[in-house]
Structure 1
Amino acid sequence: MEEMDQSIVDLVRQIHDNPAKAVFYVAGGGAQVMTWLLSVPGASKTVLEARIPYGGGKSMAEILAKEPQTYACTLTAVDMARAAYRQAAHLSEFGVPILGVSCTCALATDRVKKGDHKVYVAVHDGVSSRACRVHLSKGARSRLEEDAVASRLVLRALASGCGLDAAAQSLDLGLLRTEQQNGAADGAAAGPTFEQLQETVQSMEEPLQELLEGRVRSVEYSGGQVIVDAPRRGRVYLPGSFNPLHEGHKGLLAAALKAKGLSGGEGCFELSVGNPDKGLMSLQEAKSRVAQFVTAGLPLVVTQAPLFTIKSKLFPKSTFVIGYDTAIRLIMGKYYGGEVPMLLEMTAMRNRGCSFLVAGRLDAQSAFKTMEDVELPEHLRDIGLFETIPEKLFRSDISSTALREKGIVLPAT
């Protein structure tokens, strides 16, 4: 293993002092970077998970949900970084900056390779992917020495993803002059440089537009971060139209998290831009609703999932926070074509690990109604799909409809 020189130690310390957390997928080389990161105190502030997808291609196919046509190439490196990013979202709380970092290589081995020795590294931050490649001179290094070059490239990618560009560029990669020339893009200066992938730059100029056009599944706003196409499973979600967002919404999510014994970083509001009756929301309207949460510093995930059956597929193992009226409509057979189809849909949601936390409300007779007052079909009682939020934890008589009637509306963007 290459001895850690001071430049690596100094750069790793700067990375650990950065708030970003990352998941690493490295294949074929670049594994020394994990030793460097773990050898400097503070690694838990940076490393969420590291995985080496080998095993005859099965591990890589599991990560990417497909078999790559070419393992050592820019496209596969970017796909790996995006997959690592989605895993980072799953492993972190709302509001934490995350990165997906990848490396895929073809290095010296126990036989003579016909092809080039090459390294591809990528880092994905949700809105953009950046990739770097370098071809190594055959026979110039041992396998361990080639791996050290790959590891330095990964470390530099990570530092760049953390916003430490100056420190990243100062790291010596240990490349030969011929390798620096081979690593440069046509017409560029010698030396491997990070380059925005054209398709990523074009597609992520406006994430909400990408969502409306169905090219991404979710756009999350939390902690000043924009998390694209990385829906988190196993969380607490409060869906709504939020027209407007009010104190009742905030109090309900807080009560739900308290009822589940979870921290604030495990809960999020959810807005669907799709409606079964009204169609898709306009981009301007979506931006107006999102702006409420960004201004208030509250986490919000925007989807195209108007129905809970769809939400449960997007956010498996999650708890959805709803009101009493919504719960009553949710179990009405007429919306499913009968009671049996309704029970099948509810069972499918439960099998995905999902459940509902229900807040009570005042009825027309000023009685506070909760799920305890609802006569559920026996099957729904048995599977534990619904749970009541106690009145002592939450009760709010604020109505978005009433607020709109009073003229309290969303500000124009």
Structure 2
Amino acid sequence: MRAVASATDSPDDVHQAVAALHQSPAKAALILTGGGFQALTSILTVPGASKTVLDVRVPYASASLADVLGFVPQRYADPGTASAMARKAYQQAANLAAFGEEILGVSLTCALATDRSKKGEHKAIAATHNGHCTTTYVLQMAKGRRHRAGEDEVASRLLLHALCSASLASASFHIPLLLHEDEAGAQESSETLDDPLAALLEDKVQSVEYSGGHVVVDAPRRGRIYLPGSFNPLHDGHRDMLAAACAIEDREQDGCFELSVGNADKGFLEVDIIRQRVQQFIDAGLPLVVTQAPLYTIKAKILPDSVFVVGFDTAIRLIDPKYYGGHTGMLLQFAELAHLGCRFLVAGRVADDKRFMQLSDMDLPEELSRMELFKDIPESAFRSDVSSTQLREKQLND
């Protein structure tokens, strides 16, 4: 833990730092409660805010904050609460940003002067989260030294300091906290996650995404187009299938591959194999999200409102009642998928007799037809006569 030094600089320092912030590549979602609202004015009134700010939430009532976090915090102006808020903001940033963009979650929770006497300390706690590191800043203020607006200004500067520290490549922009001589600086501490894939295998996170040179941890993006597979190996057919699906949906920037480290029949992949398959996507510059979701109902819970791109053979297995314990079990699973807002795009394939098999060749139960969960990728949009199995056999023979 280290102290963030105090300083008394000109008011232009805040404007200059925020202007530099808006030129940095990071995009942020913010959650504030209890104070720090002058920071929002500084961020939003300096030109270029749309380059930085994805979302701002102010859950001021305790019930509102609990609704955002998904639990009732034991203490509100607390480092643990600030960290949880920053992680929620990070997940919101992931949902709003495009694949490959650098994202941040930023939070501030305060206990400031009010219209009644407070027994506890007056303090502000800021936090930032970038997927692999959570940094918190705890600042205590002397009681009775400032009115509410003065304490809010200090809290706002702490928030700006945290945001700029997490966003700016240059360390020359420092936000002065305007503390009195006998007030200590903010205490800074960090918690890092060294190996996201190991954390995934240990059930500590739900997903690890690789896109645009960034690693997005435990922030699965809902409402995108995912092509699940084992990618052993990744080949042009995979790329073309996802591109065709995105074109059909008219969402060229929303496509991503999905690799599940768990298989319903074969168990978990070894970590070295996972890293090898991930590296294919890093080398190719393609987005990939890694999950522990072998079943589509589990994928849908992690990635709701999404479109899953599947091949003809996978689609045939998906509607086979034997995998669900019978017809009724199958319908219940698909009803859950529909409830989670998910559906499928089906790519055809060439059969042994050279016929092109597609959705119309499937014996789709009437109940599933009414749900409208399946849609064709026409042969004119995508056709690949190369399979991963054929490529593996070729590699063995070479």
TM-score tier, shorter chain, comes to over 0.9
Matches within 5 A, 1:206-217: 206-217=195-206
Give the TM-score taking structure 1 as reference length: 0.92
Structure 1 CA distance for aligned equivalents of residues 393 and 155 of structure 2 = 62
**Matched residue pairs, number?**
388
Give the equivalent residue in structure 1 for 2:96: 91
- Decide which of 113, 127, 136 is 2:132's aligned counterpart: 127
1:244 matches 2:233:
yes
Q: Which runs of 5+ in 1 are unaligned?
A: 181-190
Structure 1 CA distance for aligned equivalents of residues 133 and 171 of structure 2 = 19
Give the equivalent residue in structure 2 for 1:14: 20
- Decide which of 381, 387, 393 is 2:375's aligned counterpart: 387
TM superposition shift of 1:167: 3.2
Contact 1:361/1:370 (CA < 8 Å) preserved in 2?
Answer: yes
Structure 2 CA distance for aligned equivalents of residues 103 and 284 of structure 1 = 39
Secondary structure, counterpart of 1:194 in structure 2: strand
Secondary structure, counterpart of 1:131 in structure 2: strand
TM superposition shift of 1:5: 2.4
TM superposition shift of 1:382: 0.9
Structure 2 CA distance for aligned equivalents of residues 133 and 111 of structure 1 = 23
Deviations 1:309-350 (A, max 9, x none): 110111110000000010001000011111111011111101
Matches within 5 A, 1:361-376: 361-376=349-364
TM superposition shift of 1:408: 6.5
TM superposition shift of 1:172: 1.0
Structure 1 CA distance for aligned equivalents of residues 79 and 182 of structure 2 = 20
Secondary structure, counterpart of 2:308 in structure 1: strand
Structure 1 CA distance for aligned equivalents of residues 252 and 351 of structure 2 = 31
Secondary structure, counterpart of 1:167 in structure 2: coil
- Decide which of 178, 189, 194 is 1:195's aligned counterpart: 189
Give the equivalent residue in structure 1 for 2:6: none
Secondary structure, counterpart of 1:178 in structure 2: coil
Contact 1:82/1:100 (CA < 8 Å) preserved in 2?
Answer: yes
- Decide which of 296, 303, 314 is 1:315's aligned counterpart: 303
- Decide which of 44, 47, 60 is 1:41's aligned counterpart: 47
1:166 matches 2:160:
no
Secondary structure, counterpart of 1:406 in structure 2: helix
Structure 2 CA distance for aligned equivalents of residues 277 and 29 of structure 1 = 52
Moved more, 375-384 or 99-108: 375-384
Secondary structure, counterpart of 1:148 in structure 2: helix
Contact 1:159/1:165 (CA < 8 Å) preserved in 2?
Answer: no
- Decide which of 172, 183, 188 is 1:179's aligned counterpart: 183
Contact 2:121/2:141 (CA < 8 Å) preserved in 1?
Answer: yes
Give the equivalent residue in structure 1 for 2:294: 306
Give the equivalent residue in structure 1 for 2:148: 143
Structure 2 CA distance for aligned equivalents of residues 370 and 194 of structure 1 = 58
Amino acid at match of 2:96: L
Structure 2 CA distance for aligned equivalents of residues 193 and 46 of structure 1 = 26
Contact 1:25/1:81 (CA < 8 Å) preserved in 2?
Answer: yes
Give the TM-score taking structure 2 as reference length: 0.95
Structure 2 CA distance for aligned equivalents of residues 106 and 192 of structure 1 = 15
Structure 2 CA distance for aligned equivalents of residues 278 and 368 of structure 1 = 30
Moved more, 206-215 or 4-13: 4-13
Secondary structure, counterpart of 1:119 in structure 2: strand
Structure 2 CA distance for aligned equivalents of residues 31 and 253 of structure 1 = 43
Give the equivalent residue in structure 2 for 1:185: none
TM superposition shift of 1:177: 2.1
TM superposition shift of 1:375: 2.6
Q: Which runs of 4+ in 1 moved over 4 A?
A: none
Contact 2:348/2:359 (CA < 8 Å) preserved in 1?
Answer: yes
Contact 2:20/2:168 (CA < 8 Å) preserved in 1?
Answer: no
Structure 2 CA distance for aligned equivalents of residues 7 and 404 of structure 1 = 59
Structure 2 CA distance for aligned equivalents of residues 394 and 193 of structure 1 = 56
1:279 matches 2:267:
yes
Q: Which runs of 5+ in 2 are unaligned?
A: 1-9
TM superposition shift of 1:357: 0.3
Contact 1:244/1:408 (CA < 8 Å) preserved in 2?
Answer: no
TM superposition shift of 1:165: 5.5
Amino acid at match of 2:376: T
Secondary structure, counterpart of 1:32 in structure 2: helix
- Decide which of 44, 48, 57 is 1:51's aligned counterpart: 57
Structure 2 CA distance for aligned equivalents of residues 162 and 344 of structure 1 = 46
- Alpha-carbon RMSD across the aligned residues, in angstroms, is 1.3
Structure 1 CA distance for aligned equivalents of residues 59 and 113 of structure 2 = 18
TM superposition shift of 1:194: 2.9
1:205 matches 2:209:
no
Give the equivalent residue in structure 2 for 1:110: 115
The structure-2 alpha-carbon separation of the partners of 1:160 and 1:408, relative to structure 1 and needing over 3 Å to count, comes to farther
Secondary structure, counterpart of 1:290 in structure 2: helix
Structure 1 CA distance for aligned equivalents of residues 169 and 134 of structure 2 = 16
The structure-2 alpha-carbon separation of the partners of 1:177 and 1:137, relative to structure 1 and needing over 3 Å to count, comes to same
TM superposition shift of 1:70: 0.3
- Decide which of 244, 253, 263 is 1:255's aligned counterpart: 244
Secondary structure, counterpart of 2:56 in structure 1: strand
Contact 2:243/2:252 (CA < 8 Å) preserved in 1?
Answer: no
Deviations 1:237-277 (A, max 9, x none): 0000000000110111111000001022x111000000122
Structure 2 CA distance for aligned equivalents of residues 226 and 253 of structure 1 = 21
Deviations 1:162-196 (A, max 9, x none): 1446134x22110112222xxxxxxxxxx225321
TM superposition shift of 1:54: 1.5
1:70 matches 2:75:
yes
Structure 2 CA distance for aligned equivalents of residues 172 and 335 of structure 1 = 62
Structure 2 CA distance for aligned equivalents of residues 210 and 380 of structure 1 = 37
